[in-house]
Structure 1
Amino acid sequence: MVHIAGTQAFETVSDAVDEVNKLKGAVSKTEWSASSAFDSEKDKTAFRQYEDACERVKTFYREQHEKQTVEFNLRVRQNFKKTVRARMGIWEAMEMLDTLVDDSDPDTSLTQIEHLLQTAEAIRRDGKPEWMQAAGLVHDLGKLLYLFGSEGQWDVVGDTFVVGCKFSEKNIYPTTFEGNPDAHDPVYSTEYGVYAPNCGLENVMLSWGHDEYLYNVLKNQSSLPEDALYMIRYHSFYPWHREGAYSHLTNAADERALAAVRAFNPYDLYSKSDDPVDPEKLKPYYQGLIAKFFPDVIEW
């Protein structure tokens, strides 16, 4: 049995926010916190209908919930530090990702470049700042993991959740965690597990996937403000930002992150029903935006 305490790998999730991010400073909340307008007439009950989802989605989550263990998460974070998987720019990465359709998503079968541009365009139409448009443009680029030799989509996509303590009943398909050995571990199956009460999300390990991967790629390779990095890191953490789970682990410092993710979420979720976009037509605008926040080449 592998426990988190005392392991070198846990530094990834327990260290304080890097000094480089502090230097970027916090942006004014009024720039991005106003409610989204583009989705005002959309039927939001039509999204995230997991009980009616196809078997592809249900099979995905069963596998994810059974395999995302503490032991796996410690190992994959150690491997992340050792390997540069590719060197390329943001637009090239978007085009590379265009071959992937997310098996966990019941709301769309669009390829990823279309979803990224739909998200960014919805943020742009609502007059949100350029850094938030950029966050929307790149937020799912961590799914490149699937093309970089992941073990499957189960360690790349889907809702994220806390590992190292009891799995929340507010996760989707909660009964499928019964197949995860951590659900029967004498430490990991308890309410707090290896964590202290209200220790804060910086000291909690989420299931590995595209959110955590992209956050670690971009935190030192972009000029995105901290609020954008929150949006990227936690946008799939639906049990927390939508269902209110894991409040026994969060603290006051997480309130800013929660506000940022909730401001971002409508653009990620409800833009999936927007009209298709033309990547080539939008490319000049977004290449200019990319140049403002990212280097020409990023180490993936």
Structure 2
Amino acid sequence: MTILIDHLHEPGTVEVEEKKVAEEQNELVLDAGFLVPKTNAFGHTFRDYDVGSERKDGVEEFYRINHINQSYDFVKRMREEYGKLNKMEMSIWECCELLNEVIDESDPDLDDPQIEHLLQTAEAIRKDYPNEDWLHLTGLIHDLGKVLNLPGFGELPQWAVVGDTFPVGCAFDESIVHHKYFKDNPDYENPAFNTKYGVYSEGCGLDNVLMSWGHDDYMYLVAKKNNTTLPQAGLFIIRFHSFYALHRAGAYKHLMNEEDIENLKWLKIFNKYDLYSKSKVRIDVEKVKLYYLSLIEKYFPEKLRW
């Protein structure tokens, strides 16, 4: 099922005035008035990989290793192994709690446990889009695949779990963060993989494109193979929310089909919340837990194979 967007929220006069005030106070306003800071937890603009921050060098080293190792053959091996879903059996909420043990080394904006980010994202979406409960749940679960970093899931290195994602099997677009490190990737000089289309064709659809391996693709496989009833837009968001070369730079559009184009509209809405809800504001887990448990019950089986 594809959900079409008939119209986007148009702010009224009062909201426009609130937005002006917020901008003066170094805040951004999302669609229905949710206020967020213009700067990340370190006081810098979001997703600035060049600014001198306490995490800059570590983030760049992360991408150096990531870009060298994320090859077409590596992705195929990971998808085959983890697509078996034989690592563990547990509920969505149990996985949320497991994520407390993970910190994303590729993220230049935040160093809190991931459960904080999940709830911040979901609650921000819930306020602005109260009738789209599938989108609230997508906000909660979009990063659950980061459990790949834990011992029970093979304890994959961070470069194989987090970070911006990109297609493999075709040329690496220059808009990808720290693109220079791809020169040491085995696919970089391979004529089968280093052209605009590579192994793909015009409009083949992103379903048919292999993405660099990590938490996005893994959670997508978990949701799909456990027969979630989330709409296709939700699955699209889960799989491509870290595909910044597409939804921020407009790269790789030549591989998209019509369904991808519709789903990308929802991904761009979601991305604002995934990015700008990152803050030091804490969410009271017990106050919201029952609501999200009800959504999990609506869209997922009680136990999932992981």
Please indicate the TM-score interval, normalised by the length of the shorter structure. Answer: 0.7 to 0.9
Which of 219, 224, 227 is equivalent to 1:219? 224
Q: Per-residue displacement from partner, 1:189-236 (whole Å, max 9, x unpaired)?
A: 122211122322122111111111111111242211111111111101
Partner of 2:38: 43
Higher helix share: 1
Partner of 2:24: none
Partner of 1:79: 81
Asked if the contact 1:38–1:122 (Cα under 8 Å) also holds between the matched residues in 2, the reply is no
Deviation of the 1:145 alpha carbon: 1.3
Paired residues in the alignment total 275
Q: What are structure 1's unaligned runs of at least 5 residues?
A: 1-24
- Quote the sequence identity (%): 47
Deviation larger for 212-221 or 99-108:
212-221
SS of residue paired to 1:187? coil
Residue 195 (str. 1) matches residue 200 (str. 2): yes
Asked if the contact 2:163–2:242 (Cα under 8 Å) also holds between the matched residues in 1, the reply is yes
Tell me which amino acid in the other structure corresponds to 1:282. V
Q: 1:239 to 1:122 in 2, by over 3 A?
A: same
Which of 251, 256, 263 is equivalent to 2:257? 251
Asked if the contact 1:39–1:270 (Cα under 8 Å) also holds between the matched residues in 2, the reply is no
Asked if the contact 1:140–1:210 (Cα under 8 Å) also holds between the matched residues in 2, the reply is yes
Structure-1 separation of matches of 2:72 and 2:222? 21
Residue 279 (str. 1) matches residue 279 (str. 2): no
Map 1:1-300 → 2, pairs under 5 A: 25-30=1-6, 33-34=8-9, 36-38=31-33, 42-43=37-38, 46-52=45-51, 54-128=56-130, 129-147=132-150, 148-221=153-226, 222-273=228-279, 275-300=281-306
Q: 1:187 to 1:150 in 2, by over 3 A?
A: farther
Deviation of the 1:130 alpha carbon: 0.8
Q: What value does the CA root-mean-square deviation take over the aligned residues?
A: 1.9
Tell me which amino acid in the other structure corresponds to 1:113. I
Deviation of the 1:30 alpha carbon: 4.0
Tell me which amino acid in the other structure corresponds to 2:3. V
Asked if the contact 1:166–1:193 (Cα under 8 Å) also holds between the matched residues in 2, the reply is yes
Partner of 2:15: none
Q: 1:290 to 1:251 in 2, by over 3 A?
A: closer
Partner of 1:6: none
SS of residue paired to 2:62? helix
Structure-1 separation of matches of 2:32 and 2:49? 25
Asked if the contact 1:116–1:138 (Cα under 8 Å) also holds between the matched residues in 2, the reply is yes
- Normalised by the length of structure 2, the TM-score is 0.84
- Normalised by the length of structure 1, the TM-score is 0.86
Tell me which amino acid in the other structure corresponds to 2:159. W
Q: 1:293 to 1:245 in 2, by over 3 A?
A: same
Deviation of the 1:171 alpha carbon: 0.2
Deviation larger for 230-239 or 245-254:
245-254
SS of residue paired to 2:198? coil
Deviation of the 1:78 alpha carbon: 1.3
SS of residue paired to 1:295? coil
